[in-house]
């Protein structure tokens, strides 16, 4: 064991090894968490040649962080393959060098090249920077052995994760007989940080995929994932940094070609940092042609489906507008007070031109701030509208925060709507010594003409630990609550939910972990307390050392329909009470293989009849230049009211020449909308911040086996970023 409990006010004991602080091993004392480690950044007079090789003298003389420990599979054990990290900086740039020693470098898995690819199947290195030293929020930068670039924003130790943020930075990698290495170059202008703060939170993670090993520089407990910012080590010695004027100017030009017309659309995005921690963003004549198209979903419920935001302007600082515990990942029947897809996408799902918008976001001392105003253009019959949101949160102590949010949606003709509310979050990794605990609560009030019962409130407790988890939540949403700039799938309800899980690690039978749970939801009518939905689930998952998994799920569900429900065209369920049992088995092979697969089968009762479903997905990834993933989903529903079959086919194809030039295609068809569509995009990153996009979209309608074109467009977009 390598850490000990330190009385309040005592210094953490460390031993000096070069310039890297190492925790002192203590054998016979009660221990809790890994003692913080520290690494000193060294200022250099000139820039580094970015080639992935740590050969410059500055790298050789820099302090080394090397005591990486396993989180998986053996908590706290030394890494099976050594890793070294060094940090250099100039007045304007931060350089991080990571040397990944490997006794078998040819076995390093690298399946993706393209920007923001999912590197879950790859050997990879991830950097985490807590630039405000608040032990809550962080920037993440990730690469694999062939130099793919992935970045992410972390809020409140993983309560919010924004993988779609795109910073301007670069990385190069190189392979050698002893392993592989990476050189990260991150401009200080890309980061937000506290002025005068010379020490940042810092952590490094390395994944060795062939043995499914995760090693970290700091915070190796299995109950603490890498996003637990409070368990990061320290990066010291950062002085004399400069962001220049803190101004990024990104003009762009989009050419759109349709059957009947060709148009040219100039515009720009501007980003200015009045302080190192605050960013003012302006956009004019905004264009989102490079945004990835939505995945088609087949809805067999009577509630709205959730589609994630994919437009860059709204994603860049999304955590600053999120309410803790009310995010897309916070559970079923999620309430999101501000959902940016309400801006620029009408209720019919079609885009509305954004004339312009402005945002101010970031941190000032203990406060985090998000202010947005945007104006959309009229598209008959959709009127032009103005959207405003203010989100303010203050840290309380080291582990709590309080916040407020207010939104307002003002159409050109009509009454304004919106909401305001407050929230609270307490989060610690030291409950009962070294356990995780999160407490949160919220209260919201919407406003619209004639609404009276327009409140929503709730709270939840969460103890997410490695071998056991306890979760409970209560929420109440009154019938007139209307988050006109948010997402609320169900109103007029009370909901009580729980999740209890045991996940032992047997250490035998080739098994890494077995997780079984008792999960449930009770939803009642808010006015009458009448039971509307009851869902009791018993899921089990068997995770093997190889990375393969087996899953089984059994559940009993009650649904009380209070009005007619057209579940499919011509198939209508009448009001009444339905109780049914369902089952699921699923097998997934490890994604580290060149060919991996996932197959799930669902069967059992469904309302007044039966439903059988199959989900099949294949991933073919022979190397970083090609990724092919076909997916097929089918549901066969047999009811006294009528039978029907839904089918959804989706094919993803990524072709990448190198990390800067990639071609992405998404092909989809479903027999509910009877639409066959192709979205294909070529992206050339001339250099980080300067891009060329070529986009083509085609849609056909299936009319009894004959496909008729219902939409075709091509777009060409050029964007260049000037930094001052």
Residues 6+ away with beta carbon under 8 Å from 32: 3, 4, 5, 430, 433, 434
Predicted confidence at residue 18, as pLDDT, reads 33
Calpha distance 403→132 (Å, rounded): 18
Strands (E), 90-199: 93-101, 124-130, 138-144, 150-155, 160-162, 170-176, 179-187
In this prediction, residues 234-241 reach a mean pLDDT of 92
Q: Please determine, for residue 331, whether its predicted confidence score (pLDDT) is greater than 80.
A: no
Quickly state the pLDDT bin for 21 (edges 50, 70, 90).
very low
pLDDT band, residue 329 (cuts 50/70/90): low
Is the confidence at residue 16, as pLDDT, over 70?
Answer: no
Looking at residue 313, what is its pLDDT? Answer: 78
Q: Is position 323 within any domain?
A: no
125: β partners: 143, 206
Omega cis (within 30) before 381: yes
Task: Give pLDDT, residue 506.
Answer: 92
3-state helix, strand, coil in the chain (%, to 5): 5, 55, 40
Q: What is the pLDDT of residue 328?
A: 63
Inform me whether the pLDDT recorded for 30 exceeds 50: no
Q: Which residues contact 509 (CB under 8 A, 6 or more apart)?
A: none
Does residue 182 lie in a domain region?
yes
pLDDT given at position 15: 33
Longest Cα–Cα distance in the chain: 79
How many other CB atoms are there within 10 angstroms of residue 574's CB atom? 10
Domain ranges, residue 153: 14-236
Of 98, 77, 79, the closest CA to residue 87 belongs to 98
Residue with tokens 């943020």: 165
The share of the chain scoring above pLDDT 70, in percent, equals 94
The highest-confidence range among 290-294, 412-416, 580-584, by mean pLDDT, is 580-584
**Is pLDDT at 88 greater than 50 in this prediction?**
yes
**Do residues 403 and 394 make contact, with C-beta atoms less than 8 angstroms apart?**
yes
- What three-state secondary structure class fits 139? strand
Residues 446 and 483 sit within 8 Å (Cβ to Cβ): yes
Q: Which residue has the higher pLDDT, 71 or 318?
A: 71
User: What does the angle CA 81 – CA 83 – CA 84 come to, to the nearest 5 degrees?
Assistant: 155
Residue listed under structure tokens 């200015």:
272
pLDDT on residue 77: 94
Q: How confident is the model at residue 29 (pLDDT cuts 50, 70, 90)?
A: very low
Per the CB < 8 A criterion, the answer to whether 354 and 373 are in contact is no
Euclidean distance between CA atoms 626 and 622, whole angstroms = 7
Say whether pLDDT at 123 is over 80.
yes
pLDDT tens-place string over residues 628-677: 999 999 999 999 999 999 999 999 999 999 999 999 999 999 999 999 99
Give residue-wise pLDDT tens across range 185-211. 999 999 999 888 899 999 999 999 999
Average pLDDT of the chain is: 88
92 domain-assigned: yes
More reliable by pLDDT, 151 or 256 = 151
Task: Kindly tell me if the per-residue pLDDT of 575 is higher than 70.
Answer: yes
- Give the per-residue pLDDT at 25: 33
Residue 91 lies in a domain: yes
DSSP 652-718: EEEEEEETTEEEEEEEEEETTTTEEEEEEEEEEEEETTEEEEEEEEEEEEEETTEEEEEEEEEEEEE
Top-confidence residue, 82 or 342? 82
CA 175-176-181 angle, to 5 degrees, is: 55
The domain tally of the chain equals 1
Cα(299)–Cα(317) distance, rounded to whole angstroms? 30
Four-point Cα dihedral 362, 481, 489, 335, nearest 10: 30
Torsion of CA 218, 64, 204, 595, to 10 degrees: -120
* Confidence category of residue 690, pLDDT binned at 50, 70, 90: very high
Residue 333 lies in a domain: no
In this prediction the pTM is 0.86
DSSP string, 48-67: ---SS---SHHHHHS--B--
DSSP per-residue string spanning 175-187:
EETTEEEEEEEEE
Looking at the predicted structure, is the pLDDT value of residue 31 above 50?
Answer: no
Mean pLDDT calculated for residue range 497-505: 95
Query: What is the reported pLDDT for 8?
Result: 30
Using the predicted structure, report yes or no on whether residue 35 has a pLDDT greater than 60.
Answer: no
What is the C-alpha to C-alpha distance for residues 384 and 700, in angstroms, rounded to an integer?
Answer: 30
Q: What is the CATH number of the domain that holds 38?
A: 2.60.40.1190
The yes-or-no verdict on residue 23 having pLDDT over 90 is: no
Q: How far is residue 112's CA from residue 654's CA, in Å, rounded to a whole number?
A: 9
Backbone angles phi, psi at 132, to 5 degrees: -100, 0
CA neighbor of 186 nearest in space, from 121, 133, 238:
238
Cis peptide before 5 (omega within 30 of 0): no
Token pair 């993803």: residue: 652
In this predicted model, what pLDDT tens digit does every residue of 530-568 receive, in sequence order? 999 999 999 999 999 999 999 999 999 999 998 888 888
End-to-end CA distance of the chain: 49
What is the pLDDT averaged over residues 101-112? 92
Q: Report pLDDT for 332.
A: 55
How far apart are the C-alpha atoms of 691 and 660, rounded to whole Å? 9
- Could you tell me the CA-to-CA distances from 216 to 83, 153, 437 in Å, in that order? 9, 19, 22
Residues 686, 688, 692, 696, CA torsion sign: positive
Report the range of poorest mean pLDDT among 40-49, 282-291, 454-463, 527-536: 282-291
Distance CA 113, CA 149 (A): 8
- What does the pLDDT average to over 697-715? 88
Residue 50, pLDDT above cutoff 90: yes
Query: What's the Cα-to-Cα distance from 690 to each of 286, 292, 343, rounded to whole Å?
Result: 17, 18, 26
What is the phi-psi region of residue 234: left when phi exceeds 0, alpha when psi lies from -120 to 50, beta otherwise? beta
Residue 69 lies in a domain: yes
Question: Does a structural domain hold residue 51?
Answer: yes
pLDDT at 634: 96
Q: Can you tell me the mean pLDDT for 154-172?
A: 86
Which DSSP state fits 290? T
The pLDDT of residue 32 is: 32
Residue 330's pLDDT is: 55
pLDDT score at 4: 29
| 113-117, 333-337, 349-353: which is most confident | 113-117
d(CA 281, CA 273): 9
Residue 655 CB-density burial (10 A; 0-12 exposed, 13-18 middle, 19+ buried): middle
Of 612 and 256, the one with more pLDDT: 612
Q: Nearest Cα to 115, choosing from 169, 183, 54, 195?
A: 169
pLDDT at 7: 29
In contact, 299 and 305? CB cutoff 8 Å: yes
The set of residues, in sequence order, having a beta carbon less than 8 Å from that of 86 and lying 6+ positions away, is 54, 59, 62, 63, 64, 65, 96, 97
| 185 belongs to a structural domain | yes
Alpha carbon distance 663, 115 (integer Å): 11
pLDDT for 5 equals 29
């Amino acid at each position: 064991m390598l850490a000990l409990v330190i009385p309040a006010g005592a210094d953490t004991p460390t031993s000096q090894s070069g310039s890297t602080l190492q925790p002192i091993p203590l054998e016979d004392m009660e221990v809790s968490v890994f003692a913080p480690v520290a690494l000193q950044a060294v200022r250099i007079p000139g820039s580094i040649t970015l080639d992935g090789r740590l050969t410059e003298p500055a790298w050789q003389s820099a302090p080394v962080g090397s005591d990486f420990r396993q989180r998986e599979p053996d908590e706290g054990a030394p890494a099976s393959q050594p890793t070294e990290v060094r940090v250099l900086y100039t007045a304007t740039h931060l350089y991080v060098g990571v040397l990944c020693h490997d006794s078998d470098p040819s076995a390093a898995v690298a399946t993706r090249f393209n920007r923001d690819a999912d590197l879950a199947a790859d050997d990879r290195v991830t950097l985490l920077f807590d630039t405000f030293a608040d032990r809550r929020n962080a920037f993440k930068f990730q690469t694999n052995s062939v130099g793919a670039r992935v970045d992410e924003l972390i809020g409140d130790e993983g309560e919010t994760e924004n993988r779609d943020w795109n910073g301007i930075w670069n990385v190069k990698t190189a392979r050698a007989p002893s392993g592989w290495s990476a050189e990260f170059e991150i401009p200080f202008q890309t980061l937000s940080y506290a002025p005068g703060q010379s020490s940042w939170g810092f952590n490094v993670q390395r994944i060795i995929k062939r043995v499914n090993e995760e090693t970290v520089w700091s915070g190796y407990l299995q109950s603490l994932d890498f996003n637990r910012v409070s368990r990061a080590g320290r990066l010291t010695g950062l002085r004399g940094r400069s962001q220049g004027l803190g101004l990024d100017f990104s003009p762009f030009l989009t050419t759109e070609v349709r059957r009947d017309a060709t148009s040219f659309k100039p515009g720009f995005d501007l980003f200015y940092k009045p302080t190192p921690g605050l960013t003012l963003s302006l956009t004019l004549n905004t264009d989102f042609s490079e945004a990835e198209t939505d995945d088609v979903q087949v809805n067999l419920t009577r509630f709205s489906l959730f589609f994630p935001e994919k437009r860059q302007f709204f994603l860049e600082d999304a955590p600053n507008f999120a309410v803790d515990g009310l995010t897309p990942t916070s559970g079923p029947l999620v309430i999101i007070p501000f959902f940016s897809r309400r801006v620029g996408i009408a209720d019919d799902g079609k885009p509305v031109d954004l004339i312009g918008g402005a945002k101010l976001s970031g941190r000032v001392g203990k406060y985090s701030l998000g202010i947005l105003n945007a104006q959309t253009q009229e598209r008959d019959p959709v009127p032009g509208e103005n959207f405003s949101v203010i989100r303010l949160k203050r840290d309380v102590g080291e582990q709590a925060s309080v916040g407020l949010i207010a939104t307002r949606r003002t159409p050109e003709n009509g009454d304004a709507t919106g909401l305001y509310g407050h929230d609270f979050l307490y989060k610690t990794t030291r409950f009962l010594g070294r356990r995780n605990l999160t407490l949160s609560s919220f209260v919201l009030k919407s406003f619209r003409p004639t609404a009276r019962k327009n409140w929503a409130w709730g709270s939840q407790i969460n103890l997410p630990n490695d071998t056991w988890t306890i979760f409970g939540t209560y929420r109440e949403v009154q019938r007139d609550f209307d988050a006109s700039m948010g997402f609320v799938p169900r109103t007029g309800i009370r909901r009580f939910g729980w999740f209890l899980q045991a996940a032992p690690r047997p250490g035998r039978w080739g098994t890494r972990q077995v997780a079984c749970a008792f999960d449930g939801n009770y939803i009642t009518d808010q006015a009458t307390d009448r039971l509307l939905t009851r869902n009791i689930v018993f899921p089990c998952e068997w995770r093997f050392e190889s990375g393969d998994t087996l899953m089984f799920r059994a559940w009993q569900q009650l649904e009380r329909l209070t009005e007619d429900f057209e579940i499919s065209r011509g198939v209508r369920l009448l009001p009444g009470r339905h109780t049914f049992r369902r089952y699921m088995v699923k097998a997934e092979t490890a994604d580290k293989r060149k060919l991996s697969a996932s197959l799930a089968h669902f069967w059992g009762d469904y309302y007044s009849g039966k439903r059988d479903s199959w989900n099949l997905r294949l991933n073919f990834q022979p190397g970083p230049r090609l990724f092919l993933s076909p997916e097929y989903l089918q549901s066969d529903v047999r009811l006294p009211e009528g039978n029907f079959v839904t089918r959804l086919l989706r094919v993803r194809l990524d072709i990448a020449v190198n990390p800067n030039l990639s071609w992405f295609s998404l092909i989809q068809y479903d027999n509910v909308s009877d639409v066959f569509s192709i979205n294909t995009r070529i992206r050339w990153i001339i250099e980080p911040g300067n891009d060329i996009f070529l986009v083509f979209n085609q849609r056909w309608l299936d009319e009894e086996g004959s496909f008729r074109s219902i939409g075709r467009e091509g777009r060409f977009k050029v964007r260049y970023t000037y930094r001052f």
